[in-house]
């Protein structure tokens, strides 16, 4: 596993969106969240000032996307976070919540303890 330094920028923004989705997205929706994430990722990627930490965060987010695709069996047939939407009986708000539940689980399992800076995410492993 690649060593992850303090994850602050990208993930700090995502967890802020979780707390007040209406401020960032207009409404609590997995599809609005997906568009926001794609725009944010694209902007960070195109920014010539991209640093090593940001590259790590973007790579981790990409790995999380692959994890979701595999877990919810979507990808070629469904686009984006549609698998979450259908998993939640086509409820955008519940799919939004599921995204963040899965993100916390993924980060807890894949980011070494003590390297993740986010007060909303607790590491269960000691």
Does the residue 67 lie in any domain?
yes
57, two tokens: 């965060």
CA distance 112 to 123: 9
CA 84, CA 98: separation in Å to the nearest integer?
7
Say if 35 falls within a structural domain.
yes
Determine, yes or no, domain membership for 94: yes
Does residue 91 belong to any structural domain of this protein?
A: yes
Q: What is the mean pLDDT of the chain?
A: 77
Q: What is the arithmetic mean of pLDDT over 98-111?
A: 88
Average pLDDT value for residue range 52-80: 76
Helix, strand, or coil here: 115?
A: coil
Task: Give the model's pLDDT for residue 115.
Answer: 55
Q: Is 80 among the domain residues?
A: yes
CA atoms of 8 and 52, how far apart (whole Å): 12
Q: Is residue 82 part of a domain?
A: yes
The pLDDT, as a whole number, for residue 46 is: 78
Which pTM does this prediction carry?
Answer: 0.76
Domain with 83 in it: 9-110
Residue 83: pLDDT over 60: yes
- The residues near 35 (Cβ < 8 Å, ≥ 6 apart) are none
CA distance 91 to 115: 33
Domains held by the chain: number: 1
For 103, half-sphere exposure in the C-beta direction (CA atoms, 13 angstrom radius) is: 24
The reply to whether 124 falls in a domain is no
Is 11 within 8 Å of 118 (Cβ atoms)?
A: yes
Q: Is residue 126 part of a domain?
A: no
Task: Give the pLDDT score at 12.
Answer: 84
Q: What is the average per-residue pLDDT within 48-60?
A: 74
Percent of the chain at pLDDT above 90?
23
d(CA 94, CA 102): 12
Give yes or no for a contact between 96 and 30, defined as CB atoms under 8 angstroms apart: yes
């Amino acid at each position: 596993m690649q060593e992850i330094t303090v994850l602050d920028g990208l993930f700090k923004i995502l967890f802020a969106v979780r707390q007040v989705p209406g401020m960032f997205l207009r409404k609590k929706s997995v599809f609005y969240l997906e568009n926001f994430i794609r725009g944010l990722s694209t902007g960070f990627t195109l920014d010539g000032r991209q640093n090593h930490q940001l590259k790590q965060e973007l790579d981790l987010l990409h790995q999380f996307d692959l994890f979701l695709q595999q877990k919810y069996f979507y990808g070629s047939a469904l686009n984006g976070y549609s698998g979450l939407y259908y998993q939640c009986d086509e409820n955008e708000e519940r799919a939004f919540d599921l995204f963040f539940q899965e993100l916390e689980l993924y980060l807890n399992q894949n980011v070494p303890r003590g390297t993740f800076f986010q007060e909303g995410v607790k590491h269960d492993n000691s």
